[in-house]
Amino acid sequence: MSDKLYTETLKVCHRHADRLQWAMTEMQKHIPFSSESLEDFNDVEIAILDQFSTRFSKLQDVMGMKLFPAVLELTKEQGELDAFVDKLNRLEKIGAIDSAADWLLLREMRNAFSHEYPDDPEIQAAILNKAFALAETLIGILYRIEVFSSRFVLSVQGLSL
């Protein structure tokens, strides 16, 4: 069961990551964002920024709430880890992620998206500039988790490396 849960969750993560990367590519020409540039965006560009923030948030959520626990179950590292930070520390310890602290920073970024600042384009620009830099980190963590977990998926399927 853990293999199937992991595989299905990974598919969802890849869907979010692909759409996040698309939005990043579309907006690359506008980086760094400024309050002035944001005020000049047309409806399509605003929709792409919405896509970016939505996919960043969804990817970060699915990874934290579903993928990380699935990886711990797959590796038999679950144990008595009730607190999320304990799960992060265990993932770092086993080499599935580089840094629990980096993940917490990504979580803060996701939380920043939930607060809208429609009347302050300078805050919006600062959040977007930081988020674009962190989006590469988020996608990198997804791929690292996938590489790390691949040997356990094969092992569960009876194809040990």
Distances (CA, A) of 117 to 8, 43, 124, 144: 35, 17, 6, 33
Query: Where in the sequence is the domain holding 129, given as residue range(s)?
Result: 2-156
Tell me whether residue 66 is in a domain. yes
pLDDT at residue number 117: 64
Confidence at residue 1, expressed as pLDDT on a 0 to 100 scale: 47
Residue 75, domain member (yes or no): yes
C-alpha torsion sign, points 20, 22, 25, 31: negative
The mean per-residue pLDDT over the stretch 38-54 comes to: 95
21 pLDDT more than 90: yes
Query: Which token pair is 36?
Result: 């002035």
C-beta of residue 78 within 8 angstroms of C-beta of residue 69: yes
Q: pLDDT tens digits for 95-134? A: 999 999 999 999 999 988 877 666 788 988 999 999 999 9
* Tens-place pLDDT, residues 32-43: 999 999 999 999
- Specify if 46 maps to a domain: yes
> Within a domain: residue 24?
yes
Q: Which amino acid is at 90?
A: R
Reported pTM: 0.89
Q: Are 53 and 131 in contact (CB under 8 A)?
A: yes
> pLDDT category, 161, cuts 50, 70, 90?
very low
Does residue 161 lie within any of the structural domains?
no
Average pLDDT of the chain, as a whole number: 90
- Identify which of 43, 58, 50, 27 has the alpha carbon closest to the alpha carbon of residue 129: 27
Q: DSSP character for 26? A: H
Q: Say what the pLDDT of residue 131 is.
A: 95
Confidence at 11, pLDDT banded by 50, 70, 90 = very high
What domain count does the chain have? Answer: 1
Per-residue confidence at 135, pLDDT binned at 50, 70, 90? very high
* Separation in Å, CA 15 to CA 62, 90, 129: 11, 26, 23
pLDDT band with cut points at 50, 70 and 90 for residue 152: confident
Asked if 16 and 57 touch (Cβ cutoff 8 Å), the reply is no
Question: Residue 39 domain-assigned?
Answer: yes
Angstrom distance (rounded) from CA 31 to CA 52: 13
Name which residue leads in pLDDT, 127 or 82.
Answer: 127
77 within domain boundaries: yes
